[in-house]
Structure 1
Amino acid sequence: MERIKKYVDVITEFSADGKIRPLEVLWDDGTRYEIDKILSVDRRASLKVGGAGIRYTCQINGVRTFLYLEENKWFVEAKVMQ
């Protein structure tokens, strides 16, 4: 399945010690996806769509999803609907 780099809005929480925790992903059609759990956080490149940054491995609705913070923008590896 083909994927594209899709920039998304993300609701985040900033802690006093400077940690960033994404809480929700907002799709451009208005759909909101609550992040159930953060499984890991590390610096990685997206091999599927290009780009690099801090990768948050998240669980959303029971599905493992990668959410990237690239400089000051968030993106996901979105599936292309054909």
Structure 2
Amino acid sequence: MKKYVDMIVRYTEEGQIIPLAIRWSPELLYEIDKVLDVRQAASLKAGGTGIRYLCRIKGRERYIWLEEDKWFVDAKEDRI
């Protein structure tokens, strides 16, 4: 299931977009420990395509996508 989320990001002088945290709900914020990989890719589970970020969040690797101007995750549960 594709879940659109609010993101906290940093824009660098070079134009890079670096995700810092996912706002899952008004009371739940997941900080991104590290961005491990960035590439153009499709979400085979949720559908859609965009820039795929492989991130480490709470010790687990998760994908998040920037699809044009919206962010989404492949959400199977109520939490990451």
TM-score above 0.5: yes
Measure the CA separation in 2 of the matches of 1:52 and 1:70: 6
What is the correspondence of 1:18-57 to structure 2 with a 5 Å cutoff? 18-57=15-54
User: C-alpha displacement at 1:80, in angstroms?
Assistant: 4.2
In the comparison of the two structures, how many residue pairs are matched?
78
Q: Which runs of 5+ in 2 are unaligned?
A: none
Q: Which structure's relative contact order is higher, taking Cα pairs within 8 Å and 6+ residues apart? A: 1
Structure-2 residue corresponding to 1:67: 64
User: Can you list the C-alpha shifts for 1:14-42, whole angstroms capped at 9, x where unaligned?
Assistant: 00010000000001242000000001000
Q: Which runs of 5+ in 1 are unaligned?
A: none
SS at match of 1:79: coil
**Residues 80 and 33 (structure 1 numbering): CA distance in 2 closer, same or farther, change over 3 Å?**
closer
Query: Which AA in structure 2 matches 1:36?
Result: D
User: Can you list the C-alpha shifts for 1:2-61, whole angstroms capped at 9, x where unaligned?
Assistant: xx1000000000000100000000012420000000010000000001000000000000
User: Matched residues, percent identical?
Assistant: 51
SS at match of 2:66: strand
Query: Which AA in structure 2 matches 1:9?
Result: D
